[in-house]
Chain A
Amino acid sequence: MEVSTFFIHITIILLSARILGEIAAYLSVPSVIGELMAGIILGPSLLSLIEPTDVIKLLAEIEIILLLFEVGLETDIMRLMKTGFNSTVVALFGVAAPFVFGFCVSYYLFTLPFLTSLFAGGTLTATSIGITVRILTDLSKHHSREAQMVLGAAVIDDIIGVILLAFLYDLSLGKGVSLQHTSQIFIFVVLFMALAPMAAKFMAGVIRRFDNVSQIPGLIPTTVVSLVLFFAWLAHAVGAPELLGGFAAGIALSRRFFCQWDLPSMRSQPLPIALRRT
Protein backbone atom coordinates (compact mmCIF):
# COMPACT_ATOMS: atom_id res chain seq x y z
CA MET A 1 0.00 0.00 0.00
CA GLU A 2 1.19 3.51 -0.87
CA VAL A 3 1.91 5.71 2.10
CA SER A 4 -0.43 8.38 0.74
CA THR A 5 -3.21 5.78 0.40
CA PHE A 6 -2.73 4.88 4.03
CA PHE A 7 -3.05 8.55 5.00
CA ILE A 8 -6.31 8.98 3.10
CA HIS A 9 -7.65 5.74 4.61
CA ILE A 10 -6.89 6.99 8.12
CA THR A 11 -8.49 10.34 7.26
CA ILE A 12 -11.66 8.60 6.06
CA ILE A 13 -11.71 6.32 9.11
CA LEU A 14 -11.28 9.16 11.59
CA LEU A 15 -13.83 11.45 9.95
CA SER A 16 -16.46 8.78 9.36
CA ALA A 17 -16.02 7.49 12.93
CA ARG A 18 -16.49 11.02 14.21
CA ILE A 19 -19.56 11.78 12.08
CA LEU A 20 -21.32 8.47 12.81
CA GLY A 21 -20.27 8.69 16.47
CA GLU A 22 -21.90 12.14 16.67
CA ILE A 23 -25.06 10.84 14.97
CA ALA A 24 -25.19 7.91 17.40
CA ALA A 25 -24.76 10.25 20.38
CA TYR A 26 -27.50 12.50 18.98
CA LEU A 27 -29.80 9.47 18.85
CA SER A 28 -28.89 8.67 22.49
CA VAL A 29 -26.95 5.58 21.42
CA PRO A 30 -23.34 5.05 22.65
CA SER A 31 -20.97 6.64 20.14
CA VAL A 32 -18.99 3.41 19.85
CA ILE A 33 -21.97 1.99 17.92
CA GLY A 34 -21.50 4.76 15.34
CA GLU A 35 -17.82 3.90 15.07
CA LEU A 36 -18.60 0.20 14.56
CA MET A 37 -21.18 1.18 11.94
CA ALA A 38 -18.55 3.31 10.18
CA GLY A 39 -16.38 0.21 9.88
CA ILE A 40 -19.25 -1.90 8.54
CA ILE A 41 -20.14 0.78 5.97
CA LEU A 42 -16.53 1.35 4.83
CA GLY A 43 -15.59 -2.34 4.87
CA PRO A 44 -16.34 -5.34 2.67
CA SER A 45 -19.91 -5.62 3.99
CA LEU A 46 -21.09 -2.51 2.12
CA LEU A 47 -18.82 -0.07 0.27
CA SER A 48 -15.55 -2.04 0.22
CA LEU A 49 -13.77 1.29 0.36
CA ILE A 50 -11.16 0.27 2.91
CA GLU A 51 -9.52 -3.09 3.46
CA PRO A 52 -8.51 -4.04 7.00
CA THR A 53 -4.80 -4.06 6.15
CA ASP A 54 -2.03 -5.12 8.51
CA VAL A 55 -0.95 -1.50 8.98
CA ILE A 56 -4.42 -0.37 10.08
CA LYS A 57 -4.72 -3.44 12.31
CA LEU A 58 -1.38 -2.59 13.89
CA LEU A 59 -2.37 1.01 14.50
CA ALA A 60 -5.69 -0.12 16.00
CA GLU A 61 -3.86 -2.59 18.24
CA ILE A 62 -1.47 0.08 19.54
CA GLU A 63 -4.37 2.40 20.25
CA ILE A 64 -6.36 -0.17 22.18
CA ILE A 65 -3.27 -1.05 24.24
CA LEU A 66 -2.84 2.65 25.05
CA LEU A 67 -6.55 2.88 25.92
CA LEU A 68 -6.15 -0.02 28.35
CA PHE A 69 -3.07 1.72 29.75
CA GLU A 70 -5.21 4.79 30.40
CA VAL A 71 -7.89 2.62 32.03
CA GLY A 72 -5.24 0.98 34.22
CA LEU A 73 -3.94 4.44 35.12
CA GLU A 74 -7.37 5.46 36.38
CA THR A 75 -8.08 2.15 38.08
CA ASP A 76 -8.05 2.05 41.84
CA ILE A 77 -6.11 -1.14 42.51
CA MET A 78 -7.50 -1.43 46.05
CA ARG A 79 -11.08 -1.25 44.82
CA LEU A 80 -10.23 -3.71 42.06
CA MET A 81 -8.87 -6.14 44.65
CA LYS A 82 -11.90 -5.62 46.89
CA THR A 83 -14.15 -6.81 44.09
CA GLY A 84 -11.85 -9.80 43.55
CA PHE A 85 -14.27 -12.51 44.68
CA ASN A 86 -17.25 -11.05 42.83
CA SER A 87 -15.10 -10.48 39.73
CA THR A 88 -13.89 -14.07 39.83
CA VAL A 89 -17.47 -15.39 40.06
CA VAL A 90 -18.54 -13.15 37.17
CA ALA A 91 -15.49 -14.23 35.16
CA LEU A 92 -16.17 -17.93 35.74
CA PHE A 93 -19.73 -17.52 34.50
CA GLY A 94 -18.39 -15.31 31.70
CA VAL A 95 -16.17 -18.17 30.55
CA ALA A 96 -18.50 -21.11 31.21
CA ALA A 97 -21.66 -19.70 29.60
CA PRO A 98 -20.24 -18.80 26.14
CA PHE A 99 -18.06 -21.90 26.11
CA VAL A 100 -20.95 -24.27 26.76
CA PHE A 101 -23.28 -22.29 24.47
CA GLY A 102 -20.71 -22.16 21.62
CA PHE A 103 -19.89 -25.84 22.00
CA CYS A 104 -23.54 -26.94 22.09
CA VAL A 105 -24.57 -24.83 19.09
CA SER A 106 -21.56 -26.00 17.05
CA TYR A 107 -21.79 -29.65 18.03
CA TYR A 108 -25.52 -30.26 18.18
CA LEU A 109 -26.98 -27.63 15.84
CA PHE A 110 -24.27 -27.39 13.15
CA THR A 111 -23.00 -30.97 13.78
CA LEU A 112 -19.38 -29.87 13.63
CA PRO A 113 -16.64 -32.26 14.85
CA PHE A 114 -16.15 -32.49 18.61
CA LEU A 115 -12.77 -30.74 18.68
CA THR A 116 -13.90 -27.97 16.31
CA SER A 117 -16.91 -27.38 18.55
CA LEU A 118 -14.65 -27.14 21.58
CA PHE A 119 -12.55 -24.52 19.78
CA ALA A 120 -15.68 -22.60 18.75
CA GLY A 121 -16.73 -22.51 22.41
CA GLY A 122 -13.19 -21.59 23.50
CA THR A 123 -12.87 -18.64 21.14
CA LEU A 124 -16.21 -17.27 22.37
CA THR A 125 -14.84 -16.96 25.90
CA ALA A 126 -12.69 -13.97 24.92
CA THR A 127 -14.01 -10.64 26.18
CA SER A 128 -14.34 -7.37 24.28
CA ILE A 129 -12.65 -5.55 27.15
CA GLY A 130 -11.81 -2.53 24.98
CA ILE A 131 -15.44 -2.06 24.00
CA THR A 132 -16.73 -2.59 27.54
CA VAL A 133 -14.29 -0.01 28.87
CA ARG A 134 -15.22 2.46 26.16
CA ILE A 135 -18.97 2.15 26.88
CA LEU A 136 -18.47 2.59 30.62
CA THR A 137 -16.29 5.63 29.94
CA ASP A 138 -18.88 7.09 27.55
CA LEU A 139 -21.52 6.66 30.27
CA SER A 140 -19.13 8.17 32.88
CA LYS A 141 -19.46 4.98 34.93
CA HIS A 142 -15.92 3.69 34.70
CA HIS A 143 -15.17 4.52 38.36
CA SER A 144 -18.30 2.84 39.72
CA ARG A 145 -18.13 -0.33 41.80
CA GLU A 146 -19.88 -2.45 39.20
CA ALA A 147 -17.51 -1.13 36.50
CA GLN A 148 -14.51 -2.19 38.62
CA MET A 149 -16.14 -5.59 38.99
CA VAL A 150 -16.68 -5.89 35.23
CA LEU A 151 -13.12 -4.76 34.57
CA GLY A 152 -11.67 -7.25 37.04
CA ALA A 153 -13.85 -9.99 35.58
CA ALA A 154 -12.73 -9.12 32.04
CA VAL A 155 -9.05 -9.41 33.04
CA ILE A 156 -9.62 -12.76 34.78
CA ASP A 157 -11.82 -13.87 31.88
CA ASP A 158 -9.04 -13.14 29.37
CA ILE A 159 -6.52 -15.07 31.46
CA ILE A 160 -8.83 -18.08 31.77
CA GLY A 161 -9.62 -17.84 28.04
CA VAL A 162 -5.93 -17.97 27.10
CA ILE A 163 -5.33 -20.96 29.37
CA LEU A 164 -8.40 -22.71 27.96
CA LEU A 165 -7.22 -22.18 24.39
CA ALA A 166 -3.74 -23.45 25.29
CA PHE A 167 -5.42 -26.53 26.78
CA LEU A 168 -7.48 -27.06 23.63
CA TYR A 169 -4.44 -26.50 21.41
CA ASP A 170 -2.59 -29.29 23.21
CA LEU A 171 -5.67 -31.45 22.82
CA SER A 172 -5.82 -30.72 19.09
CA LEU A 173 -2.22 -31.93 18.59
CA GLY A 174 -3.47 -35.42 19.39
CA LYS A 175 -0.80 -36.07 22.00
CA GLY A 176 -3.15 -35.76 24.94
CA VAL A 177 -3.48 -32.83 27.27
CA SER A 178 -0.23 -31.37 28.54
CA LEU A 179 -0.96 -30.23 32.07
CA GLN A 180 2.63 -29.07 32.30
CA HIS A 181 2.24 -26.69 29.35
CA THR A 182 -1.14 -25.40 30.52
CA SER A 183 -0.01 -24.83 34.09
CA GLN A 184 3.19 -23.21 32.79
CA ILE A 185 1.12 -20.63 30.91
CA PHE A 186 -1.07 -20.12 33.97
CA ILE A 187 1.97 -19.52 36.20
CA PHE A 188 3.58 -17.16 33.65
CA VAL A 189 0.42 -15.08 33.27
CA VAL A 190 -0.24 -14.86 37.01
CA LEU A 191 3.41 -14.01 37.68
CA PHE A 192 3.27 -11.37 34.97
CA MET A 193 0.15 -9.74 36.45
CA ALA A 194 1.71 -9.82 39.93
CA LEU A 195 5.20 -8.67 39.05
CA ALA A 196 4.55 -6.27 36.15
CA PRO A 197 3.29 -3.40 38.34
CA MET A 198 6.34 -3.71 40.61
CA ALA A 199 8.74 -3.79 37.67
CA ALA A 200 6.95 -0.81 36.10
CA LYS A 201 7.14 1.07 39.39
CA PHE A 202 10.89 0.52 39.48
CA MET A 203 11.25 1.64 35.86
CA ALA A 204 9.09 4.69 36.55
CA GLY A 205 11.51 5.70 39.31
CA VAL A 206 14.40 5.43 36.88
CA ILE A 207 12.48 7.44 34.26
CA ARG A 208 11.75 10.22 36.74
CA ARG A 209 15.34 10.33 37.85
CA PHE A 210 16.57 10.69 34.28
CA ASP A 211 13.89 13.29 33.55
CA ASN A 212 15.58 15.60 36.05
CA VAL A 213 18.84 15.51 34.12
CA SER A 214 17.49 15.18 30.58
CA GLN A 215 18.41 18.00 28.22
CA ILE A 216 15.73 17.19 25.65
CA PRO A 217 12.00 17.72 26.36
CA GLY A 218 9.54 14.83 26.11
CA LEU A 219 11.48 12.13 27.95
CA ILE A 220 8.48 11.00 30.03
CA PRO A 221 5.96 10.39 27.20
CA THR A 222 8.65 8.63 25.16
CA THR A 223 9.62 6.32 27.97
CA VAL A 224 6.07 5.75 29.24
CA VAL A 225 4.84 4.72 25.77
CA SER A 226 7.92 2.53 25.39
CA LEU A 227 7.16 0.97 28.78
CA VAL A 228 3.56 0.26 27.77
CA LEU A 229 4.60 -1.34 24.48
CA PHE A 230 7.32 -3.34 26.24
CA PHE A 231 4.79 -4.69 28.70
CA ALA A 232 2.44 -5.53 25.83
CA TRP A 233 5.26 -7.50 24.23
CA LEU A 234 6.09 -9.16 27.55
CA ALA A 235 2.45 -10.12 28.09
CA HIS A 236 2.39 -11.75 24.66
CA ALA A 237 5.69 -13.47 25.39
CA VAL A 238 4.25 -15.16 28.50
CA GLY A 239 1.12 -16.18 26.63
CA ALA A 240 -1.28 -13.44 27.81
CA PRO A 241 -3.16 -10.98 25.56
CA GLU A 242 -1.11 -7.86 24.77
CA LEU A 243 -3.90 -5.68 26.16
CA LEU A 244 -3.16 -6.96 29.65
CA GLY A 245 0.38 -5.59 29.33
CA GLY A 246 -0.97 -2.09 28.76
CA PHE A 247 -3.42 -2.52 31.63
CA ALA A 248 -0.67 -3.76 33.99
CA ALA A 249 1.57 -0.81 33.09
CA GLY A 250 -1.36 1.55 33.76
CA ILE A 251 -2.03 -0.01 37.16
CA ALA A 252 1.64 0.38 38.03
CA LEU A 253 1.46 4.11 37.44
CA SER A 254 -1.98 4.56 38.99
CA ARG A 255 -2.76 6.66 42.05
CA ARG A 256 -2.86 3.95 44.70
CA PHE A 257 0.10 1.97 43.54
CA PHE A 258 2.29 4.89 42.71
CA CYS A 259 0.90 7.63 44.90
CA GLN A 260 3.82 10.02 44.49
CA TRP A 261 2.35 11.08 41.16
CA ASP A 262 -0.67 13.33 41.26
CA LEU A 263 -3.63 11.80 39.42
CA PRO A 264 -5.95 14.84 39.28
CA SER A 265 -3.33 16.84 37.43
CA MET A 266 -2.65 13.82 35.22
CA ARG A 267 -6.28 13.81 34.12
CA SER A 268 -6.30 17.40 33.06
CA GLN A 269 -2.79 17.96 31.76
CA PRO A 270 -0.77 16.55 28.92
CA LEU A 271 1.45 13.69 30.05
CA PRO A 272 4.80 15.49 30.11
CA ILE A 273 3.54 17.95 32.71
CA ALA A 274 1.22 15.59 34.50
CA LEU A 275 3.78 12.95 35.32
CA ARG A 276 6.10 15.34 37.09
CA ARG A 277 6.16 15.10 40.86
CA THR A 278 3.98 17.67 42.58
Chain B
Amino acid sequence: MKPIIHLFTPIFFVMVGLSLNLNDDVYAALVIALSTVLPIFVIKWFYSRFDKNLDTDEHG
Protein backbone atom coordinates (compact mmCIF):
# COMPACT_ATOMS: atom_id res chain seq x y z
CA MET B 1 0.00 0.00 0.00
CA LYS B 2 2.81 2.44 0.85
CA PRO B 3 4.32 2.13 -2.65
CA ILE B 4 0.91 2.95 -4.11
CA ILE B 5 0.64 6.04 -1.89
CA HIS B 6 4.15 7.14 -2.84
CA LEU B 7 3.50 6.45 -6.52
CA PHE B 8 0.51 8.73 -6.72
CA THR B 9 1.36 11.51 -4.22
CA PRO B 10 3.32 13.48 -6.89
CA ILE B 11 -0.06 14.03 -8.56
CA PHE B 12 -0.98 16.34 -5.69
CA PHE B 13 2.18 18.41 -6.04
CA VAL B 14 1.88 18.56 -9.83
CA MET B 15 -1.72 19.61 -9.25
CA VAL B 16 -0.54 22.57 -7.15
CA GLY B 17 1.66 23.64 -10.08
CA LEU B 18 -1.18 23.09 -12.55
CA SER B 19 -3.44 25.33 -10.49
CA LEU B 20 -1.02 28.24 -10.82
CA ASN B 21 -1.65 30.46 -13.77
CA LEU B 22 1.33 32.76 -13.90
CA ASN B 23 -0.15 34.54 -16.93
CA ASP B 24 -3.45 35.68 -15.44
CA ASP B 25 -3.64 35.51 -11.66
CA VAL B 26 -0.19 36.95 -11.12
CA TYR B 27 -0.72 38.09 -7.54
CA ALA B 28 -2.48 34.90 -6.48
CA ALA B 29 0.16 32.81 -8.22
CA LEU B 30 2.93 34.77 -6.53
CA VAL B 31 1.36 34.35 -3.09
CA ILE B 32 0.88 30.61 -3.62
CA ALA B 33 4.34 30.22 -5.12
CA LEU B 34 5.97 32.15 -2.29
CA SER B 35 3.99 30.48 0.49
CA THR B 36 4.50 27.03 -1.05
CA VAL B 37 7.98 27.14 -2.55
CA LEU B 38 9.75 29.43 -0.09
CA PRO B 39 9.21 27.20 2.99
CA ILE B 40 10.81 24.30 1.11
CA PHE B 41 14.04 26.23 0.74
CA VAL B 42 13.79 27.65 4.26
CA ILE B 43 13.48 24.15 5.76
CA LYS B 44 16.35 22.89 3.63
CA TRP B 45 18.50 25.87 4.61
CA PHE B 46 17.52 25.42 8.27
CA TYR B 47 18.72 21.81 8.34
CA SER B 48 21.88 22.52 6.39
CA ARG B 49 22.72 25.37 8.83
CA PHE B 50 21.52 24.06 12.21
CA ASP B 51 21.25 20.29 11.90
CA LYS B 52 24.37 19.66 14.00
CA ASN B 53 23.06 21.88 16.81
CA LEU B 54 19.71 20.12 17.06
CA ASP B 55 18.76 17.43 19.52
CA THR B 56 19.87 14.21 17.86
CA ASP B 57 17.55 12.05 19.96
CA GLU B 58 14.98 11.32 17.27
CA HIS B 59 13.22 8.45 18.96
CA GLY B 60 12.16 9.98 22.24
Query: Using a CB–CB distance below 8 Å, which chain A residues touch chain B?
Result: 10, 13-14, 16-18, 21, 29-30, 32-33, 35-46, 50-52, 56-57, 59-61, 63-64, 66-67, 70, 76, 78-79, 98, 124, 128, 130-132, 134-136, 139, 141, 143-146, 221, 224-225, 267, 270-272
Contacts and interface: CB of A to CB of B under 8 A. Distances in A.
Contacts of B40: 30, 32-33, 131, 135
Interface of B: 1-3, 5, 7-24, 29, 31, 35-37, 39-40, 43-44, 47, 54-55, 57-60
Nearest to B14: A39
Q: Secondary structure of the A side of the interface?
A: helix
B14 A63 contact: no
Nearest to A78: B60
13 contacts: A17-B13, A17-B14, A33-B40, A39-B15, A39-B16, A45-B17, A45-B23, A60-B15, A66-B8, A128-B36, A131-B16, A139-B47, A146-B54
A258 to B, nearest CB: 17
Contacts of B55: 144-145
Contact of B17 (A29, A43, A57, A135): A43
B14 A42 contact: yes
Contact of B8 (A21, A40, A63, A267): A63
A57 B15 contact: yes
B14 A36 contact: yes
A18 B58 CA distance: 30
Contact of B20 (A39, A59, A134, A143): A39
Contact of B19 (A30, A52, A131): A52
A211 B7 CA distance: 27
